[in-house]
């Protein structure tokens, strides 16, 4: 039976350690900042060291601390599967084995079906699909030892919808939906809940080509039930739910955070 906890303390992550991939930009950066604000010690991982340093300073400013206090950064190309075991060891060295892993790193090559290259396919599937599994595999032992853990994958509208230029990306994000269920089946008996967030259209570096076309962005907003595209803060509540005690009996689920885009 789970230990009782006051609803007022559901979202307190004090004493927890979180690893967030893709922490240098977009929703990954937002996720890393939010988890730090909730009291977690956060290890941000991404390819660009300069952008990670900017995030670390931003998190310190937002949370009233000194840069580096309660946060750590690791510059690493997450599409390089061969180094993930060493990366996991470096993550653990920062604050100990993580209780929470958020897999927000991603790439969309936006190649039409006839133009998909083996190189584009491999980097997309490695970063978007293989890395969330293999990095988790290297880190779950600490969660198992504690009997508690949270893994949050990032799905997409393209987990269930086909968009032009999204063949490899859609294949990877369709895979994330099933990977989330399979990881939940494998590890939830050890207290490790695995879920996924499926963002709609949020203005990030990854979606810059979409938002550079105002008419297209307006069409996407109209497709939602709410009538607008997503803002970074719209991810905060769903993320905190999946990373905290509030989701103790929720695992293997994909929550679409899309303003009702997929409801229409």
Just list the catalytic residues: 169
What are the φ and ψ backbone dihedral angles of 157, each rounded to 5 degrees?
Answer: -55, -35
Question: Which residues make beta-bridge pairs with 42?
Answer: 18, 71
How far is residue 151's CA from residue 140's CA, in Å, rounded to a whole number?
9
- Where on the phi/psi map is residue 158: left (φ > 0), alpha (ψ -120 to 50), or beta? alpha
What are the structure tokens assigned to 191, written together? 């207290």
Q: How many CB atoms lie within 10 A of CB 80?
A: 14
What DSSP assignment string belongs to 83-95? GHHHHHHHHHHHH
C-alpha 230/C-alpha 221 separation (Å) is: 9
Question: End-to-end CA distance of the chain, in Å?
Answer: 39
Q: How far is the C-alpha of 11 from the C-alpha of 205, rounded, in Å? A: 28
């Amino acid at each position: 039976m789970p230990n009782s906890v006051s609803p007022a303390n559901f979202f307190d992550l004090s004493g927890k350690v979180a690893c967030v991939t893709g922490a240098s930009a977009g929703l990954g950066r937002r996720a890393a900042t939010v988890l730090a604000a909730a009291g977690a010690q956060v290890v941000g991982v991404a390819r660009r060291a300069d952008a990670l340093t900017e995030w670390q300073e931003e998190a310190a400013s937002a949370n009233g601390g000194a840069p580096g206090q309660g946060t750590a950064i690791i510059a690493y190309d997450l599409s390089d599967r061969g180094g993930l075991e060493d990366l996991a060891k470096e993550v653990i060295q920062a604050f100990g084995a993580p209780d929470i892993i958020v897999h927000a790193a991603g790439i969309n090559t936006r190649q039409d079906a006839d133009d998909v290259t083996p190189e584009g396919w491999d980097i997309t599937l490695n970063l978007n699909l293989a890395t969330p599994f293999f990095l988790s595999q290297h880190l779950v032992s600490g969660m198992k030892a504690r009997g508690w853990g949270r893994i949050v994958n990032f799905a997409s509208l393209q987990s269930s919808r086909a968009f032009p230029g999204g063949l490899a990306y859609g294949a990877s994000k369709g895979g994330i939906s099933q990977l989330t269920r399979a990881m939940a089946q494998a590890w939830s008996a050890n207290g490790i809940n695995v879920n996924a967030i499926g963002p709609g259209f949020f203005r990030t570096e990854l979606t810059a080509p979409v938002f550079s076309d105002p008419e297209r962005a307006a069409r996407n907003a109209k497709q939602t039930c709410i009538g607008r595209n997503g803002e970074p803060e719209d991810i905060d509540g769903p993320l905190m739910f999946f990373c905290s005690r509030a989701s103790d009996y929720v695992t293997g689920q994909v929550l679409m955070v899309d303003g009702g885009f997929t409801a229409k």
